[in-house]
Amino acid sequence: MSAKHVGVALLGLGVVGGGTYEILRDKRDMILKNDGVDIEVRRVLDRNSDRLKQLGAESLAARDIDEIVNDPDVDIVAEFFGGVEPARSFLIKALEAGKSIVTANKEMLAKSWRELEAAAERGGGGLYFEASCVGGVPVIRTLTDSMQGNAVTSLKGIVNGTTNYILSRMSDEGVEYGECLKEAQRLGYAEANPSADVDGFDSSYKNCILSSLAYRRRVPLDRIYREGISKINVKDIAYGKELGYTLKLLAISKCRDGRVEARVHPSFLPSAHPLAAVKGPFNALYIHGDSVDDIMLYGRGAGALPTGSAIVSDIVFAAGKDTHRRFAFELEDGGDTVISDDFSSAHYIRFDVKNEEGTLAKISGAFAKCGVPVKTVLKKDDGTLIIVTHEAGESAVVRALAAAEQLSGVERVAAHIRVEE
């Protein structure tokens, strides 16, 4: 039986696009032997002539997206531009022309999934995005093709390597946030404008995608609570260690009684938890299914070849399909079943207090009146008082903190970090 020949166009030859081109070029014979598909890069859209020359791809250069869309020998379009536009418009054109698309563009997908899915339905192609979350780690296909016997009840993930590098260094070396950020920028882990990473936007896009797949309903981006790491102090990381916790920026979602809560924020984890051991720029996703119990997927969440590996996996996967999966649930509005504010967790709170008798009792009393039970107390000689609560609703904790700040012995609430037991 003759091999199936599949033509591919690449939109962009940057770090990941170039890595993908190299994998497809160098592994073409291996993919043909192992998977029975002959994948040929036929077109490349990139205005950087030096980059085209560097990769030996000058003869593949396309003038514009229309040349690619109108080429009957291009079956799959892989996009590497990043951002929403022009990627969204180009991919909708490709989908409406019957091409399948492959993308790592989590921002575009999180914001425009509904439109992309509708265009795929009209044109008959497929929508593939394994590389959009956790780089080369196969988290998307695990959720879509390996968990059919499960109701997924929770996800917890370290899905951003920049913030994990910063928090790991703060924890291991006691270096303050600003210095760690500068080092992350020097090493290429963080952009000159690091907001997408350190303010939690990148993790929120990924949480939107992963949670929608896990619970088979639309988890809108604007219903995901988001908080970044820029206010984290090494003091709290050290106090957390003393209490048996490790700090991570987590993407979290849980499905309880038919309702989903989805959030991104710094979280203390028990130091024995598998996610606590994930260091540096590495990523991991911890999944709980009601049949399989706990699964953790770990690996490199970014980089030319790891992300290119996931892109190529999707290209090969799409090339072998005559019909494509439709994510119909994404077209349904599940926003009214997603909790965006009053979720439940335990809390770490650091107070600056005066040297007055009975301050702890007053704080505990104020918390009890608000329905927030205290679990652990750590008191220091320098006027630092740390309380860890049992699980409580977010609104109850906000009320408790406001009440505590009015107490005569309390100078201020110096830090507030959620705890995932």
pLDDT tens for residues 1-21? 578 999 999 999 988 899 899
| Cα–Cα dist 372/294, whole Å | 29
Instruction: Report whether 54 contacts 15 (CB < 8 A).
Output: no
* H or E, element range at 87: helix 87-96
CATH no. of 4-133+322-328: 3.40.50.720
List 111, 156, 206, 248, catalytic entry: 206
147-173: per-residue pLDDT in tens?
A: 999 999 999 999 999 999 999 999 999
In the DSSP assignment, the letter for residue 160 is: -
The pLDDT assigned to 421 comes to 86
Q: Which two tokens stand for residue 143?
A: 């959720």
Number of Cβ within 10 Å of residue 405's Cβ equals 14
**Angle value at C-alpha 234, between 231 and 236, nearest 5 degrees:** 80
- pLDDT computed for residue 188 by the predictor: 85
Numbered ranges of CATH 3.30.70.260 in the chain: 344-419
Mean pLDDT, the chain, rounded, equals 93
The confidence band for 115, taking pLDDT boundaries of 50, 70 and 90, is very high
Compute how many other C-beta atoms are within 10 angstroms of the C-beta atom of residue 353: 22
Query: Could you give the residue range(s) of every CATH 3.40.50.720 domain in the chain?
Result: 4-133+322-328
Q: Which CATH class is domain 139-300?
A: alpha beta
- Let me know if 206 is a catalytic residue: yes
Fold of 344-419: Alpha-Beta Plaits (3.30.70)
Q: Residue 82 pLDDT more than 80?
A: yes
pLDDT band (50, 70, 90) for residue 85? very high
pLDDT category at 334 given cuts 50, 70, 90 is low
**Portions of the chain given CATH number 3.30.360.10:** 139-300
Q: What pLDDT band is residue 127 in, cutting at 50, 70 and 90? A: very high
The Cα–Cα gap between 176 and 238 comes to: 12
